[in-house]
């Protein structure tokens, strides 16, 4: 099982180290790890945030474990050289079009959420976000407006093929869950032509899944419902821009961005399963980098998602998740990235319960 390990910047190496400790404790046969450079540290060493050798390593691996990118020292660089281009480049070059972001309040941790406990306890959803299209990857530029001022522009677009394939992922995800077979497709079809094509294509894809309860919701209403009635969602299917915003909203509702993992997947199959890239949804948190304060739970849970989705190791993935939940319920809160328990202490707590 070849895993490309890309720790990246800031707290990325710290949280990655704890996830690797957990993986190694499982004593998985054939586990082989390769380290690569990405982000700001890659730019400083190689002159680019995603060096060719790192991209080649990722292509040859069965899965990628990714830490975080972002370095204030690189803020003045041209956009294509900034650290964040590493993750965008990996998604595009590896055709990782499907982003799975679970958002769940762990039992006993409802107090971490800003929502009322009885509402927070309902939060258990999977956001399926299309990852390689939409306004992030559309043409963009700057021009002079009619009044002589600067005007920025970005093109948002989706073709039916892109929408149908991410919709199939959402339907399969709903069928594999424990909840009712329901998918909520989120768009802004009352305003955007892109969203009207999205909605129509999702309806077409749903014909092959008559057992799935499909509904459609405008993104502004979805944002309100995530806060007021989170139990109304099972799987949320949406585009790149809306998925980025709604998944961060859901993480805030959980109460700890340090607890949320993610998977980015495509269609390529390896000898073990579906190739994917796994990362915590938090950033590089340069303000606490090197202080041993970062919460590694999201990274550890990302490793569990990797075992499940790319290697078919359901029992091992569940073992990690149970250990994380036990560590949390036994007192390791680490509610935010600056948790008071310390990075290694939280890793130790998970290892003790593994």
Catalytic residues: 136, 188, 220, 244, 248
Please check whether residue 73 is in contact with residue 40, taking contact to mean a CB–CB distance below 8 angstroms: yes
Phi, psi of 276 (to 5 degrees): -155, 165
CB atoms within 10 A of CB 291: 13
160: left (phi over 0), alpha (psi -120 to 50) or beta: alpha
Q: How many residues does the chain have?
A: 354
Give me 132's structure tokens.
């390689």
Cα separations in angstroms, 157 against 135, 170, 198, 331 = 7, 20, 9, 46
CA-wise closest residue to 128 among 30, 13, 244: 244
Q: Could you tell me the two tokens for 273? A: 């399963």
The set of residues, in sequence order, having a beta carbon less than 8 Å from that of 135 and lying 6+ positions away, is 154, 155, 156, 240, 241
Is residue 4 within a helix (H) or strand (E), and if so which, with residue range?
A: strand 2-8
Parallel/antiparallel/unpaired status of strands 98-104 and 261-269: antiparallel
Bridging pattern class, strands 2-8 and 182-187: unpaired
First-last CA distance in the chain: 21
φ, ψ (nearest 5 deg) of residue 236: -105, 125
Q: Which residue, among 314, 288, 320, 323, has the nearest Cα to 302 in the 3D structure?
A: 320
For residues 68 and 279, is the Cβ–Cβ distance under 8 A? yes
What count of Cα atoms within 13 Å lies in the side-chain half-sphere of residue 334?
30
């Amino acid at each position: 099982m070849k895993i490309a390990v890309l720790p990246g910047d800031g707290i990325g190496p710290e949280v990655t180290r704890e996830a690797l400790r957990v993986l190694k404790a499982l004593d998985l046969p054939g586990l082989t790890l390769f380290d690569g450079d990405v982000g700001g540290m890659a730019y400083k060493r190689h002159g680019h945030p995603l060096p060719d050798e790192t991209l080649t390593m990722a292509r040859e691996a069965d899965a990628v474990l990714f830490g975080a990118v972002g370095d204030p020292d690189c803020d003045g660089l041209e956009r294509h050289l900034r650290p964040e281009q590493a993750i965008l480049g990996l998604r595009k070059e590896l055709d990782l079009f499907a982003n799975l972001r679970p958002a769940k309040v762990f039992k006993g941790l409802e107090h971490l959420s800003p929502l009322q406990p009885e509402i927070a306890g309902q939060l258990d959803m999977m956001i399926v976000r299309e990852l390689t299209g939409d306004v992030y990857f559309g043409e963009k530029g700057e021009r002079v407006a009619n009044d002589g001022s600067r005007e920025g522009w970005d093109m948002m677009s989706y073709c039916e093929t892109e929408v149908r394939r991410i919709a199939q992922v959402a339907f399969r995800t709903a069928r594999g869950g424990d909840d009712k077979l329901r998918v909520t497709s989120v768009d802004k079809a009352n305003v955007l032509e892109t969203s009207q094509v999205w909605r129509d294509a999702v309806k077409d894809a749903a014909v092959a899944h008559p057992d799935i309860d499909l509904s459609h919701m405008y993104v502004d209403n979805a944002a309100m419902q995530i806060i007021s009635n989170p139990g109304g969602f099972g799987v949320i299917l949406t585009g790149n821009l809306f998925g980025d915003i709604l998944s961060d909203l859901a993480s805030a509702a959980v109460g700890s961005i340090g607890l949320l993992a993610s998977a980015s997947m495509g269609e390529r199959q390896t000898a073990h399963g579906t190739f994917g890239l796994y990362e915590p949804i938090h950033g590089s948190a340069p303000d606490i980098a090197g202080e041993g304060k970062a919460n590694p739970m999201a990274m550890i849970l990302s490793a569990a998602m990797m075992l499940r989705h790319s290697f078919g190791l359901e029992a091992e993935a569940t073992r990690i998740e149970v250990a994380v939940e036990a560590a949390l319920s036994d007192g390791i809160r680490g509610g935010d990235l600056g948790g008071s328990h310390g990075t290694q202490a939280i890793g130790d707590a998970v290892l003790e319960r593994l």
